[in-house]
Amino acid sequence: MHDADSPSEVYELAKNMCGKNIITKASGHDGFLCKGVYVQEKLTVDREVYLTIQLDRRSGCAEIIYCPIGGFELYKLMRRYPQQIERIKIQSLI
């Protein structure tokens, strides 16, 4: 994720990403080819929370992970505020 303050800055960021191999913590060493970018208006944030839905590989079902403290990556939240993290398993109906 990148922040930009002008349309020309958005253009430069997108130009430097599109068509290139992007390596992130989640992508692994090989990364992935960036085929496009999603641009959203920059908003003022009054409060951040952490919320994600991900696959729990151990149980084979999805789970919602929520923390009322946002602004950090999950592994940092788990280390700093483990008592604040809520996990809800989503059982498949199929």
Mean pLDDT of 55-73: 87
CB of 36 within 8 A of CB of 19? no
Number of other residues whose CB lies within 10 A of the CB of residue 53: 11
d(CA 85, CA 69): 9
Are 33 and 5 part of one and the same domain? Answer: yes
Are 1 and 38 part of one and the same domain? Answer: yes
- Report residue 94's pLDDT band, with 50, 70 and 90 as the boundaries: low
Residue 93 has pLDDT above 80, yes or no: no
d(CA 66, CA 79): 14
- Residue 28 lies in domain: 1-42
Are 3 and 38 part of one and the same domain? Answer: yes
Residue 28 has pLDDT above 70, yes or no: yes
Are 3 and 37 part of one and the same domain? Answer: yes
Are 2 and 37 part of one and the same domain? Answer: yes
Q: Which residues contact 48 (CB under 8 A, 6 or more apart)?
A: 69, 70, 71
Are 29 and 2 part of one and the same domain? Answer: yes
Instruction: Count structural domains, the chain.
Output: 2
**pLDDT: which is higher, 27 or 89:** 89
